[in-house]
Every structure is written in structure tokens, then in C-alpha cells.
Amino acid sequence: MSISGTRFGNSWSGWIPQTLTKIHDDLNAKSVQLATGKIANTNSGLGNSVYQTLDLQSRLSSSDTYSNSIISVGTDLTASINALSSLSDAAKATKNGPLAPINSSDPAGRSSRQTQLKSVLSSALDYVNTRGVNGYIFGGTDTSAPPALDLTTLLNGDAATGQDGLSKLVHERQSADLGPDGLGRMAITSSGNQVTLTSPDASLPFGMSVKNVSTTFAKGSATAAGTPVSASIDFSTGVPNSGESVTITLALPDGTTTPLVMTAGTSNGVGAFSIGATPADTATNFQAALTTTLKQVANVQLFNASAEKQASDFFSASTTNPPQRILPGPDGSFASATAFSTDKTANAAKTVCWYSGTDANAGGDPRQDVSMLIGEGIRVGIGVRGNEQGFVGTLAALGAAAVVSTSTTDETLANSQFTDLVSRSSAQVTTGSSDLQSISASLSSVQGTVKSESSNQTAYKALLQQAFDSKTSVTPEQAAAELSALQTQLQVAYQVTSRLMKMSLADYL
């Protein structure tokens, strides 16, 4: 009779230590879990869930990147909107300060006002140089350096390089617009009973021109026709009555118009002409009075419109599109000039450029000059170009009013000039502020998108973290329970092992 072996066979001696070793390893692992709250310290210890865990880890990393972008973008958006608001508020405040209406002639007051305007302009340039997390926020794609020039160099130029500033450009443009005879490049002629005011040729970029004409004359006529447009006042059918008038609307360089009104009366003067004994006498009187009145309009309305136009052109420029310079006329003066220089290199060499960022006319959406991903497939643009229209209008209004030099020989004229100047600049400040608000509104819209995505990212990250924790973390209660179970299992294993080690053939049978 033979006795069969135990089921353990020859493996008996190997099975016992392997089992005990595994229980010990599991016990140690659970002890670590209890201490750290983590299922494993390495990915290999995660078992079958390792691939899901790695995917969740990657998604969490991307969410962190988006969250950082959201913080960065949000900070720059806030800085941009605040700077735009401050610039707009500072400019609008001048309407009740240095750009408030003038009630009386006051040379010292005019000088004080211009000093205040320069101070506001200096602050405005500081706002253009606002810096955010990602660099200078109003430089378009170029965020590495301040885009705006300092006030002194902007106004007076750079003596070291021989480049001129805004003050000189304004003076040159005013000379070119006024012309050699101070009539705004217009011509006054007469023939018999008729007087004609002729606009400059359309190819001449300076001066003012006739837009239309109207009259209240019971006798006589006024018409506007031809190319260039001419206003003809004809007294052939009789002389007007006292108080009747003709209004010639003139177009100015800055895009505005001004009425030139001539009223019939008993004497010649600015805006008034004497009724003569005959139509020919009346025409002679009208021509003389029209010349006087046109010079007054040229020295006030055209004088300031010219400054506003030049300031707008100056602040619209950039390093890639430098301010145009006027070519002196045949006699070497700007009063006889007929054209601008189209040589950008020459213009840049002669003129300081106030703005060194991406030009507003460079094409593309300025907001996309700086863009960042804030979510999966969600990219927002926060770029702003410092010579966009809102900046140009605001800075030009301040700059023109700050640099115009009124008459030093005629106090009445000087006061008229400054009165008209502050009125024009005040109106342009309103327009500029409105354009700044449009830029701010576009950024506020982006800000709304960023805030919404921030909430989405917070919620999404919480879900990812919950899923990740379920794969990689263990609660203290769970770890303690499993540790206790392993301790019990180990105790039982030791007891069983002890009995097996003592087992004899008699015990087995």
C-alpha cells in the first residue's frame, strides 16, 4: 500500500514564504498609503488604471496652463481698460478746465491753459506706455518697449538728431494753408458787377475751399459751380437791401466747415459790406470787404483747423509710416508750398516719431496682435495699437491746443484764435473719448469671455481632480480598514503556517 503526497507537493516549502512575503509587502504598501493618502508613489503601482491616470494628469496640466493664461490675460485686460478709462477721463476733464470757453482776452490765462494742456498730454503719453504682465499693452505686436515718446521730444524735436517735433510741423502746415497772401490759397476776382471767390486747385493739398453758397438777397444772385468750385456773387440785377446777406460755406483741412457771412449795410468791415450807389460800386465794396473777412477766417478758423489736421496726421504716424513733411515752395517758403514729401526715409530722418509700436494701418485686427489660449480651442485677442483712432483724436486735440502760437501783435485776433482753438479741441476730445470707449468696449467683451472661461476651467478642473484622486488617492478610513484586514490575514497566515510546520503523518491521517 502506498501513501499519496500532500497537495502542496514539492511546492510546499516555496509557497509559505511567498505568501507571507506578499502579505508583508501589501502591509507595507498600505502603511505608506495610510501615511501619504496616495495609492502608489509611482505610476507602475497604479495597476490597470495607470493609462487613465496619465491621461487625467495631462488634462490637469493643460488646465493649469489655461488657468495661468486666464490670470495673465485678465490682469492685462484690467490694466488696458483702466488706462483707457483714465486717459478718456483726463481728456474730458480739460473741457471744464484748459479747454473751457473763454469769456475775455487774457494772455496770461492762455499761456496757463497751454501749460495745463501739456501736463495732461504728458499724462496721456504715460497711459499709452502702460505696462502689463505680457509687456507694454498699447504697442500692438511690439510689447518689449514703451511705444510713446516723451513729451519734450515729441513737442520740440530731438536736437541731437536734427529731427523736428510737433510744434514745428504745426507752424509749417499753418503757413502752407494760409498761403503767401493769407487768403487760404483762395483767389478773389471781380468783373463788372460780379465778384468771384475761387477755390484752390484740387491737386493742392493746402488751404480751404468753397463748399456751397446761399443768399437772402432780394436782388442779385449767388451761385457755386465749376472745378475747382467758385462762388460768384452777381449784383447785375440790383443791389441788396440793408441786412440781407450771402453765406459762403468753406471746407477746412480738418474736415470741418465754417460759414463766411457777408451782410449788406452802410460800411465795410469783417462780415459786412457797404451798399453802393450802383451795382458796380456795390461789387467793389463787396470785394474789399470779402478780402478782409476771408483773411479773418483764414487767420482764425483755417489757422486752427490746420493745426488740428497736422496734429491728427502726426499722431496717426508710426515708425513704419512717419509723418509727412511739406516741401518748401519755389521761393523756399512753406507759404508757397504745393506738395508733401512722399519719401518716407527723408520724412523719418527729419521728424521724430511719437509712436514706435505696430501701426494702426498695418492691416489685420489690432486685438489679435496679442492673443492667448485660455481654454481648449478658445483664443482671445487683447492687443491694442497706440495710434488707433481713439488715441489719435484725443492726443491730437490736446497737442494742437498745447502748441498753437496765437498772434503776438493783435490781442483781439489772439483771443479769437484761442477761443476757436479750444472750441475745436473740446469737440475733438469728445470724439476721441468716444473712440476710446469703443476700444474699451471691445476689450470688455473679451474680459467677459475670459471670466466665463475662468468659471468653466474651475469647474472642469474640479471634475478632473476628483477623477484623478479616485485613481491615485485613498482615504485614511479606507487605508486603515485595508491595513487592519491585512494584519488579520497575516496573523491567520502565521497560525496556519505554524500548524502546517508541526504537522506529522499521524496528524495528516
Instruction: Give the model confidence (pLDDT) of 272-296 as tens digits.
Output: 999 999 999 999 999 999 999 999 9
- Is residue 373 domain-shared with residue 446, that is, in the same domain? yes
pLDDT at 51: 45
What is the pLDDT, as a whole number, of residue 376? 82
**Please, what is the angle between helix 389-403 and helix 166-178, to 10°?**
80
**In terms of domains, do 326 and 244 share one?**
yes
Q: What is the pLDDT of residues 13-42, one digit of tens each?
A: 555 565 656 555 555 555 554 444 455 445
Same domain, 289 and 221: yes
Among 352, 381, 404, where does a domain finish? 352
pLDDT confidence of residue 35: 46
Indicate whether 28 belongs to any domain. no
CB contact burial 240-262 (16+ within 10 A = b; e otherwise): beeebbbbbbbbbbbebebebeb
pLDDT in tens, 243-281: 999 999 999 999 999 999 999 999 999 999 999 999 999
Residue with more model confidence, 460 or 319: 319
- pLDDT at residue 462, rounded to an integer: 60
Domain-embedded: residue 228: yes
Average pLDDT value for residue range 359-369? 96
Percent of the chain at pLDDT > 70 equals 76
In a domain, 490, yes or no: no
Q: Do 296 and 311 belong together in one domain?
A: yes
Whether residue 386 contacts residue 139, with contact meaning beta carbons closer than 8 Å, is answered with yes
DSSP state of 150: P
**Per residue in 186-233, pLDDT tens?**
999 999 999 999 999 999 999 999 999 999 999 999 999 999 999 999
Do 137 and 161 belong to one domain?
Answer: no
Which amino acid, one-letter code, is at 137? Answer: I
Q: For the chain, how many structural domains are there in total?
A: 2
Task: List, for residues 407-424, the tens digit of each pLDDT value.
Answer: 999 999 999 999 999 999
User: Burial, 162: exposed, middle or buried (Cβ in 10 Å; 0-12, 13-18, 19+)?
Assistant: exposed
Looking at the fold, whether 140 and 266 belong to one and the same domain comes out as no
In a domain, 197, yes or no: yes
Same domain, 392 and 437: yes
Mean pLDDT throughout 165-175? 98
Is the residue at 120 inside a domain? yes
**Is residue 380 over pLDDT 90?**
yes
* Residues 370 and 334 placed together within one structural domain of the fold: no
Residue finishing a domain among 329, 352, 375: 352
**CA dihedral in degrees (437, 439, 440, 446; nearest 10)?**
150
Instruction: Tell whether 390 is covered by a domain.
Output: yes
Q: Is 166 exposed, middle or buried (0-12, 13-18, 19+ CB in 10 A)?
A: buried
Q: In terms of domains, do 138 and 157 share one?
A: no
pLDDT digits (tens, 9 = 90+) for 55-96: 555 665 665 677 778 888 999 999 999 999 999 999 999 999
Identify the residue whose cell numbers are 473679451.
446
* Same domain (yes/no): 184, 273: yes
CATH number of the domain residue 456 falls in: 1.20.1330.10
Query: Is the model's pLDDT at 509 over the cut of 90?
Result: no
pTM above 0.75, yes or no: yes
Residues 108 and 166 in one domain: no
- How much is the pLDDT for 68? 76
**pLDDT 10s digits, 172-187:** 999 999 999 999 999 9
Least reliable range by pLDDT among 49-53, 375-379, 382-386:
49-53
Q: How far apart are CA 394 and CA 437, in angstroms?
A: 12
Please state, rounded to an integer, the average pLDDT across all residues of the chain.
86
Strands 272-274 and 257-265, by their bridges, are parallel
Residue 442 near residue 104 (C-beta atoms within 8 A): no
Instruction: Evaluate if residue 508 carries a pLDDT over 60.
Output: no
| Within-domain flag for 232 | yes
What pLDDT, on a 0 to 100 scale, did the predictor assign at position 451?
86
Out of 336, 352, 368, a domain closes at 352
Residue 497 within a domain: no
Specify the length of the chain in residues: 509
Q: Exposure pattern of 51-77 as b/e (b: 16+ CB <10 Å)? A: eebeebeebbebbeebbebbebbbebb
| One domain for residues 86 and 172 | no
pLDDT tops 50 at residue 297? yes
Q: How many CA atoms lie within 13 A of 179 on its CB side?
A: 20
Domain hosting 206: range is 150-352
Query: β-pairing, 272-274 with 326-327?
Result: unpaired
Q: What is the pLDDT of residue 2?
A: 47
